[in-house]
Amino acid sequence: MQFVSSNFFPISIAVFSGLMLIWSFVGNRIRGIQEVDTTAALQMINHKNAVVLDVREPAEFAAGHVLNAKLIPLGKLKERIGELEKYRDQPMVVVCRSGNRSGNACALLSKAGYTQAYNMAGGMTAWQSGKLPTVK
């Protein structure tokens, strides 16, 4: 017991870090966000005419993005969601750098009634690691 009380702060940090790690694996499932890996995303783009929504900032987008991706930064998505209305009935692959912002975007899209919004797990980092094509 003395060990715990003497090392309360480091133990707390370790427990919190563990919880954050667990949340990163199951958080999107709990929030009802559908995820796809890069292979499934590519299949959706090529065979189901999926729209790619990139929610990164313009400088990130300019450095490299998926062909024909539509850029709407996450911070502006709520006010610009009307631009996506014509794609409501199509699958939508939502992309950011790592998959975190795109998860939040999927949650927002889901609340707005977009039932086919898919978070691309790993984001552009996974896309580029898979040596999939990007354009600048």
Q: Provide the 10 A C-beta neighbour count for residue 27.
A: 13
In DSSP notation, 63-79 reads: H-B-TTPEE--HHHHHH
Burial of 90 (0-12, 13-18, 19+ CB in 10 A): middle
Residue 124: phi and psi, rounded to 5, are -65, -25
Q: Which of 96, 109, 117, 126 is catalytic?
A: 96
Is 96 a catalytic site residue?
Answer: yes
| Residues designated as active site | 96
